[in-house]
């Protein structure tokens, strides 16, 4: 099987869409059909619909939520599911010299893919948990108000009222969701560490996507020179839109110290691996 396969692995809202968009612009085949835009991803998710649907169906078969927002580890794929995954992999390897895919749910099945594509390369994208949870809460707020009717030319007091209402709702979301989202962040990144701790250092690259502005040429060199991916360099600055990055929320106030410390230790391990 073709070894020039890149698995882009990372938690939801960790910059995987942006990194995959960059790789797509550099010429990496990331899917024949891609998941389109959505709330929080105006430029598209850049998720291969074949893997996206495969993972959703596997999660549903295990009585887990198909969006992958689970605190419970997924079980190993069944033999039938492995055959379906292998058929997708074989088809893409036959039709493309080098290719890869991104779907955050992949993190829940990394042990399966390690067996199915033992020579695959891994680009691990991580984002600090404060920013990730803040982004998830901001996105949840936007989904809640997706169908709100816009108010034309609101006056000062209406703007003030709306601002206060938004602050209350964001605070309530922090109270109700911050711990759950942090547990999911921990699960995803534990699954990533479980994989790469048993892989050779030459087979993976850990990247904090926020540093890609300064490291795009270094990462590109890893892909093309060390891993032999045939790509054309495009500056990450061409697609990076800092105005779209959500602001951090005081989420640490709403999680217990044990959970916070566990996430912090994981984050430190990933940070050290990315240097």
Predicted structure pTM score: 0.91
Rounded Cα–Cα distance for residues 117 and 122 (Å): 11
Confidence at residue 97, expressed as pLDDT on a 0 to 100 scale: 83
Q: According to the model, what pLDDT value does residue 150 have?
A: 81
Q: pLDDT digits over 104-146, tens only?
A: 999 999 999 999 999 999 999 999 999 999 999 998 999 898 8
Q: Answer whether 18's CB lies under 8 Å from 239's CB.
A: yes
pLDDT of residue 3: 58
Tally of structural domains, the chain: 1
- Specify the CATH number for the domain of residue 33: 3.40.50.300
Q: For the residues 17-45, what does the mean pLDDT come to? A: 78
| Residue 78 belongs to domain spanning | 5-273
pLDDT band at 151 (very low <50, low <70, confident <90, very high): confident
The confidence score (pLDDT) of residue 264 equals 96
Return the closest-CA partner of residue 43 out of 67, 68, 16, 69. 16
SS3 call for 101: strand
CA atoms within 13 A of residue 3's CA, in its CB half-sphere = 7
pLDDT digits (tens, 9 = 90+) for 240-270: 876 556 688 999 899 999 999 999 999 999 9
Contacts of 170 (CB under 8 A, 6+ apart): 137, 138, 141, 249
Percentage with pLDDT > 90 across the chain: 74
In this predicted structure, what is the pLDDT of residue 42? 47
Using pLDDT thresholds of 50, 70 and 90, give the confidence band for residue 39: very low
CA distance 223 to 19: 13
Dump pLDDT digits (tens) for 91-107. Answer: 999 999 899 999 999 99
What is the pLDDT of the chain when averaged over all its residues? 91
């Amino acid at each position: 099987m073709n070894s020039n396969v890149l698995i882009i692995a990372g938690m939801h809202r960790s910059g995987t869409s942006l990194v995959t968009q960059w790789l797509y612009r550099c010429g990496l085949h990331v899917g024949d059909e891609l998941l389109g835009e959505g709330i929080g991803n105006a430029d598209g998710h850049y998720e291969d619909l074949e893997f996206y649907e495969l993972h959703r169906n596997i999660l549903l078969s295990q009585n887990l939520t198909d969006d992958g927002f689970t605190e419970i580890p997924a079980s190993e794929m069944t033999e039938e599911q492995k055959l379906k995954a292998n058929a997708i992999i074989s088809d893409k390897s036959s039709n493309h010299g080098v290719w890869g895919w991104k779907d955050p749910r992949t993190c829940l099945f990394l042990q399966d893919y390690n067996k199915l594509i033992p020579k695959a390369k891994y680009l691990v994208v991580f984002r600090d948990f404060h920013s990730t949870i803040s982004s998830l809460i901001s996105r949840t707020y936007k989904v809640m108000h997706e169908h709100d009717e816009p108010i034309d030319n609101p006056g000062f007091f209406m703007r003030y009222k709306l601002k206060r209402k938004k602050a209350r709702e964001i605070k309530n979301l922090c109270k109700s969701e911050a711990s759950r989202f942090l547990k999911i962040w921990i699960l995803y990144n534990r699954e990533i560490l479980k994989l790469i701790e048993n892989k050779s250092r030459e087979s993976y690259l850990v990247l904090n996507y926020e540093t890609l502005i300064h490291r795009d040429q270094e990462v590109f060199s890893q892909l093309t020179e060390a891993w032999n991916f045939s790509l054309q360099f495009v500056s990450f600055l061409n697609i990076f839109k800092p105005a779209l990055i959500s602001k951090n929320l005081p989420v640490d106030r709403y999680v217990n110290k044990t959970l916070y410390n566990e996430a912090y230790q994981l984050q430190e391990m990933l940070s050290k691996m990315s240097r």
